[in-house]
Chain A
Amino acid sequence: MKQTLTTLSIALAAALGFSGCNSGGDAKYVDSAGPRTIVSVDEINIQDWSNAADQMINSMLTSGVLERAPSQPAVLAVSRIINDTRTHVDTDLLTKRIRVALNRSGKAMTTTTIDVLASPEDPLAAAVRGQASPTPFFSLSGKILEINARAGNTKQVTYVFQLSLTEIPTGLAVWEDQVEITKQGGRSSVGW
């Protein structure tokens, strides 16, 4: 009987010890596009960027406007994306995802030698290519906005992602879309 109790005690202690390895405060890896990521009301989370970019890509590809370029794949330049939210964000989190998706789809390629701030993404390529840089047919511009609301202890924030694709020869926005992501809560939580 005593031996059985000792064995049970050891097993219980071992089980508790192992379960302690998974206690909540420990650092762990999660899928950055998955449902175990942290949701916070006061900032744009990693999954919000993925979600907004995914919807924009689907919209742009469905519209078929990229087929309008005289040479395929279309050459695209990224213009100004204005951050009008209260937090500092790098808008490349949105545009890079869109660029990668367009490149993979074979529908558009982005020039890295032209930039609105005269500091091209790839300065070496820009210096070597000079004026011979390919003239983009499309320019991608946009804005990210934030709208806040509060009722009692519940806070709500809407992040609005606006993008326009302008056909450079005509100066007309041939594709435009807006994605809104609204989150409510009082504190950070895990899950979507």
Chain B
Amino acid sequence: MKKFLILPLLALTLAGCDTINTVERANPEMTPDYVATKKVTTDPSLADIVSVEDVIQSTVSGNLLKIQVELKNKTNSYHRFLYRFQWFDKDGMQVTTAAPPWRTSQVEGRETVYVSGVSPSPNAADFRLELLDSMGPQDSSGSSNPKARAPGK
């Protein structure tokens, strides 16, 4: 009788863990250029799920700054979030006047994903990555979603 109870429980437990297994070189040959970062969290619930692990930079197309951010899902469940890069020149001015688009990304449980952005102009000297918890589906006729918060700055 006990066996009949344990099996469904085990099945339920396993079903809840869609986590990612990985394998990689034990002694990596890459030498990334890490960027020291400062984090400001206004949405601790998102920060508890999707954490910023590393930020690295390189130069592409001669003089454009490229930033790659490693994000890790700290939970065992699937999560969806939005992100966007803002770019600033050496005087701290935003490089483009139009707001850059939010892009959607998703992570399975314990998965690590990499998001990257290329600066829109050679004038860009700095960046800021903004992360936003993804909203759940809502009727198009509905009012603004209460889950939509200003991104962390």
Q: Can you name 22 A-B residue pairings with CB atoms under 8 Å? A: A22-B144, A24-B143, A25-B141, A33-B99, A34-B99, A35-B134, A36-B145, A50-B101, A51-B103, A54-B101, A58-B116, A58-B117, A62-B60, A62-B118, A101-B120, A105-B61, A188-B140, A189-B138, A189-B139, A190-B140, A190-B145, A192-B135
Contacts A51-B103, A190-B139, A190-B140 known; 5 new A-B pairs at CB < 8 A: A24-B143, A58-B116, A191-B145, A192-B80, A192-B135
The residues of B with any CB-CB pair to A shorter than 8 Å are 60-62, 64, 66, 80, 82, 96, 98-104, 116-118, 120-122, 132, 134-145, 148
A64, CB-defined interface residue at 8 Å: yes
Known: A104-B120, A106-B122. A31 touches B82 (CB 8 A): no
Question: In the complex, which residues of chain A have a beta carbon less than 8 angstroms from the beta carbon of B140?
Answer: 38, 40, 187-190
What is the total number of residues of chain A having a CB less than 8 Å from a CB of chain B? 38
CA distance A190 to B144 in the complex (A): 8
Residues of chain A whose beta carbon lies under 8 Å from any beta carbon of chain B: 22-25, 28, 31, 33-36, 38-40, 47, 50-51, 54-55, 57-58, 61-64, 66-67, 101, 104-107, 185, 187-192
Whether A191 contacts B135 by the Cβ 8 Å rule is: yes
Are A58 and B134 interface neighbours, CB within 8 A? Answer: no
For residue A190, give the distance in angstroms from its CB to the closest CB of chain B. 5
Give Cα A35–Cα B120 distance, bound, in whole angstroms.
Answer: 21
Q: Which of A33, A64, A107, A191 contacts B101 (CB 8 A)?
A: A33
Collect the chain B residues with CB atoms within 8 Å of residue A40's CB: 140
Task: List, in ascending order, chain B residues with CB within 8 A of A58's CB.
Answer: 116-118
- Chain A residue with Cβ nearest B64: A61
- Could you tell me the distance in whole angstroms from the C-beta of A100 to the nearest C-beta in chain B? 9
In the complex the two chains form, is B61's CB within 8 Å of A185's CB?
Answer: no
Q: Taking the nearest CB of chain B, how far is it from the CB of A33, in angstroms?
A: 4
CB distance from B99 to the nearest CB of A (A): 6
